[in-house]
Structure 1
Amino acid sequence: MKTDRFGLLHIGKTGGTAVNAVLRAAKERKIVRRIGLYGHQTGLQDIVDLDKTRNVVFFIREPVSRYISAFNSRLRRGYPRHGNVWTDREEIAFEHFKTPNQLAEALSAGDAELRRHAEDAMTAIKHLRRDYRHYLGSVELLEQERDRIYFIGATESFESDFGLLRQLLGVPDDLELPTDDYGAHRTPDGFEKTVSELGRRNIENYCADDYNIYRWCAKRREELLPLRQAEAAEKASAK
């Protein structure tokens, strides 16, 4: 199997749909080659086991923010970009919880049955089930493969981070990121996009392992950014 020079690990609800759109267009125009675009089923362990690439690229997002976006994405069945029907378990989950805050607060409910429904919903809703552990495994795996990780972007600084990645991969400026809700697969207006302090604490507690992974990635990102910025500057000066 040919190893990709670079590989995009698409972590759900971090901006990967927009990045994929640009990189796919660049590949179709044969501007950049040997960039693997890996779907949601692929995790870091799969990349390691199959040696898909030695230069992994991915974006991260603060877990509570990612939780809210993930809940709303499945609540609307992926519309307007997708139309993925609910599973039976998701249908039950959304019968009980209509907003991300309702589910988040129910994780510490005094009512044992409501709390059980909330815990079931966290494993039933697809984008919530596919947490950072699904994609990145563990802090131990990340540490083991730290030299394989080439670039970590952040959703919170998405445009500037993608601008740097564009330079590194040689993607021309005329291939622009989608800015509409459909193209970027963003949550449209009309959906609840916040949680209460109680809801936030509950998600932070429930996603403790995810926060450990997220913090490792955030730290590694800060280490990689100066290296990648220097590399991009060198590429620009060589033109």
Structure 2
Amino acid sequence: MKRSFAAYLQQHNQRSKSDCFLHIPKTGGSGVGRFLAGIAKEVEGARVPIRLSHAWTAKKILKFHPEIKIHFLIRDPIERLVSAFQTRLREGAPGLGPAWRVGEAAAFAFFSDPSQWMLALISDDNRLKSAAYFTLQNVRLLRLNYVHFFESPEYLATIRDNLGVVTPIERTGEFLDAMCHISGVDPTMIERHYSQFRVSKVRSADFVEQLTDKERQRLMQVFQPDYAIYDYLQAYAQTALSPSPRQ
């Protein structure tokens, strides 16, 4: 949190204090963060949202700025977890992720791909299931789920006025358009400053598509608290209007 807060303080006087972009892991946030940094550097006076990293939660953000709007991308929880597993399995390659911690090394000694891990979560073999839950608790990107950031649908309901642009990852282009609108810059800047970052050759959606209906339903039960939040945010995304630029 110290490093994240230091970066926040550095941005604080340069960026909009009315809006922030919360980077939820494996939702395309690295590319969005670089995009926001690019337009902040190029356009003097742009009202660019502050980028807040994984260390921040909605509650921490609102402790500092009770009136701020929180903008972010969302993704199916199982897809997001598969992508997180793959990222830590390859140690964050090609370059930004830290080396495995002891717990991660033990977890990946058990499971060499996300399919093994996910199916172990719903296995009847108690040894495998225990190893799968150990993995869930010890691989950091897996712990940083919707419950971590937003606690529950009930909590989200209490901070609904602070929710800004919430967009599924499949509609990232719409999210970038909204960020341009909020920042007060021309959307043509997307072409100059946005590119997907560290795109895996293995699509997380491919794994999800291979699950049987029964396997998917059982996994959704395992991750029910995350899906409850995801469903709330999906409903919000479908009904909410993009906010106008701040004056």
Question: TM-score under structure 1 normalisation?
Answer: 0.85
Superposition map of 1:149-164 within 5 A: 149-164=163-178
Q: 1:54 aligns with which of 45, 68, 79?
A: 68
Q: 1:206 aligns with which of 212, 222, 228?
A: 222
| Aligned residues of 1:59 and 1:153 also touching (Cα < 8 A) | yes
Match of 1:106 in 2: 120
Superposition map of 1:180-199 within 5 A: 184-189=197-202, 193-195=206-208, 196-197=211-212, 199=215
Match of 2:93 in 1: 79
| Aligned residues of 2:122 and 2:219 also touching (Cα < 8 A) | no
| Aligned residues of 1:13 and 1:70 also touching (Cα < 8 A) | yes
Secondary structure of 2:112's aligned partner: coil
Match of 2:195 in 1: 178
Q: How many residues align?
A: 226
Mapped to 1, the partners of 2:205 and 2:172 lie a distance apart of: 22
Query: Deviations 1:42-90 (Å, cap 9, x if unpaired)?
Result: 0001012222652111110011111111111111111114141011000
Mapped to 2, the partners of 1:111 and 1:34 lie a distance apart of: 50
| Aligned residues of 2:18 and 2:68 also touching (Cα < 8 A) | yes
| Aligned residues of 1:122 and 1:128 also touching (Cα < 8 A) | yes
Unaligned stretches of 5+ in structure 2?
Answer: 1-8
Match of 1:216 in 2: 232
Mapped to 2, the partners of 1:166 and 1:81 lie a distance apart of: 29
Identity %: 25
Query: Deviations 1:168-204 (Å, cap 9, x if unpaired)?
Result: 322442333114xxxx122234999414225533431
Question: Structure 1 residues 192 and 56, CA, compared in 2 at 3 Å: closer, same or farther?
Answer: closer
| Aligned residues of 2:48 and 2:183 also touching (Cα < 8 A) | no
Match of 2:82 in 1: 68
Mapped to 2, the partners of 1:147 and 1:190 lie a distance apart of: 34
Mapped to 1, the partners of 2:71 and 2:218 lie a distance apart of: 30
Q: Given residue 20 of structure 2, which amino acid in structure 1 is its aligned partner?
A: G
Question: Structure 1 residues 53 and 127, CA, compared in 2 at 3 Å: closer, same or farther?
Answer: farther
Match of 2:35 in 1: 22
Match of 2:148 in 1: 134
| Aligned residues of 2:165 and 2:178 also touching (Cα < 8 A) | no
Unaligned stretches of 5+ in structure 1?
Answer: none
Question: Structure 1 residues 12 and 52, CA, compared in 2 at 3 Å: closer, same or farther?
Answer: farther
| Aligned residues of 1:5 and 1:55 also touching (Cα < 8 A) | yes
Question: TM-score under structure 2 normalisation?
Answer: 0.83
Mapped to 2, the partners of 1:191 and 1:158 lie a distance apart of: 17
The Cα of 1:133 is off from its aligned counterpart by 0.9
The Cα of 1:160 is off from its aligned counterpart by 2.8
